Amino acid sequence: MRIIGDVHGKYEQYLNLVVQDVDGSVQVGDFGLRYECLAGLRPDLHRIIGGNHDNYESIVQVPHYLGDYGRANVAGVDFFFIRGERSVDAYHRIEGRNWWRNEELDMPQGYAAIKAYAAAKPELVITHGCPADILQHVVTNTQKYAPSRTSQLLNAMFEAHRPKLWVFGHHHTSQRLKVSGTEFICLDELEAIDL
């Protein structure tokens, strides 16, 4: 299975990544605001997670969309996923056009996600953002230093259970680090890794 970083509307480059000798893929969020290019891909084999630059009015109707959080299996690879993150540039955006208020899980959803995660105890986690404790290693935009609701949620999950591997995007940098036995991989825009 291939895991792909933020796409940001570069749909042709994304499609090139999923048609090259790959049995399935998961894209970590910030796919873009339009999803028509997914129509030719099997939704059971090519999945997307919501980020902070996704259209939450449209994405929920796309069969490739994984949802808010939970367990999933793509091409025989089991993982746990959580969508969302905070847009530090929301004040420059227009709600309903290029920013959606529900870009992060709300508190009841967050508590339910923690409970599901703790019960699942996954070996692999794929998210858009990362736990707050990891921010210091990957932040490239100083506005992202302050932990978001999502990074705090992911930190609570990390404290509840330490998976073997955690893959995420959002920070537009390529980083690998090991913390408390978990390997964290931050994917740059359109960076891909194969498991």
pLDDT in tens, 38-88: 999 999 999 999 999 999 889 999 999 999 999 999 999 999 999 999 777
Look at strands 2-4 and 25-27 and give their pairing. parallel
Question: So where are the chain's domains?
Answer: 2-194
pLDDT value of residue 141: 67
> Which is it for the CA torsion 32, 35, 40, 46, positive or negative?
positive
CA distance 107 to 86: 14
Comparing C-alpha atoms, which of 27, 127, 120, 26 is closest to residue 74?
26
pTM of the model: 0.94
2-194 topology per CATH:
Purple Acid Phosphatase; chain A, domain 2 (3.60.21)
pLDDT at 144: 60
Can you tell me which residue has the tokens 């993150």?
A: 85
SS3 string, the chain, reads CEEECCCCCCHHHHHHHHHCCCCCEEECCCCECCCHHHHHCCCCCEEECCCCCECCCCHHHCCCECCCEEEEEECCEEEEEECCCCCCCHHHCCECCCECHHHCCCHHHHHHHHHHHHHHCCCEEEECCCCHHHHHHHCCCHHHCCCCHHHHHHHHHHHHCCCCEEEECCCCCCEEEEECCEEEEECCCCCEEEC
What local confidence, expressed as pLDDT, does residue 103 receive? Answer: 82
